[in-house]
């Protein structure tokens, strides 16, 4: 099978189209960001990359904090809208009928309709070219209780999280495996060893 060679581009996908909420001087805003991810486990660190000309950029830079709201596919229209409109000209929370929810550590609101919200404190800002990367400590994780069972297990597969790839949105589908399943010993292997 032959592969075509393309010029360098941002085709690493899918990525989560997160709603980043931020606040500064009593004003709240939302921006959709697809350039977002985990960069470290201990301590838990994340990043979000935002163009300096975006309205949310100065709010995050000045406040030093933000919330990454991982939205479900049920609010995909709001996700798209918040990536197409500027908070300089409109209240995106009101426009999209999204509910502000008080965070536990940071002063930015969370999006109540998102099943997962990560509260973040900026540790570094890296100027990369078209975007600035806000590296941050994850200081709190908030998950919707309706996805937690009676044993305390969080069922992320029931959140209907959204994904973004090559300019299009998708709903995550069925589970096809778990970390380590390819090397996990089968019960039949253990029985053979005991014989």
- Per-residue pLDDT of 132-171, as tens digits, reads 999 999 999 999 999 999 999 999 999 999 999 989 999 9
**Which of the residue ranges 115-119, 159-163, 175-179 would you say has the lowest mean pLDDT?**
175-179
- Per-residue pLDDT of 50-107, as tens digits, reads 999 999 999 999 999 999 999 999 999 999 999 999 999 899 999 999 999 999 999 9
State the fold for domain 18-194.
Answer: Pnp Oxidase; Chain A (2.30.110)
DSSP letters of the chain? -------S------B--EEEEEEETTEEEEEEESSEEEEETTTTEEEEEE-TTSHHHHHHHHH-EEEEEE-BGGGHHHHHHHHHS-TTTS-HHHHTTPPEEE-SSSSSEEETTSSEEEEEEEEEEEE-SS-EEEEEEEEEEEE-GGGB-TTS-B-GGGS-BEEEETTEEEE-------TTTTTPPPHHHHHHHH-
What pTM did the predictor assign? 0.91
Specify the pLDDT at position 172. Answer: 87
């Amino acid at each position: 099978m032959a592969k075509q060679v393309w010029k360098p581009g941002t085709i690493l996908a899918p990525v989560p189209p997160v709603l980043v909420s931020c606040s500064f001087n009593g004003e709240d805003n939302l921006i959709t960001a697809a350039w977002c991810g985990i960069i470290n486990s201990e301590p838990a660190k994340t990043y979000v990359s935002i163009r300096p000309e975006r309205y949310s950029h100065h709010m995050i830079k000045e406040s030093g904090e933000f919330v990454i709201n991982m939205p479900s596919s049920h609010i995909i229209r709001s996700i798209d809208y918040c990536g197409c409109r500027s908070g300089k000209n409109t209240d995106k929370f009101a426009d999209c009928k999204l509910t502000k929810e008080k965070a536990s550590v940071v002063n930015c609101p969370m999006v109540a309709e998102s099943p997962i919200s990560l509260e973040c404190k900026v540790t570094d800002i890296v100027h990369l070219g078209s975007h600035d990367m806000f590296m941050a400590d994850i200081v709190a994780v908030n998950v919707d209780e309706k996805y937690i069972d009676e044993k305390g297990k969080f069922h992320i597969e029931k959140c209907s999280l959204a994904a973004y790839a090559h300019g299009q949105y998708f709903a995550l589908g069925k589970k096809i495996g778990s970390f380590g399943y390819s090397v996990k010993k089968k019960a039949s292997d253990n029985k053979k060893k005991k014989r």
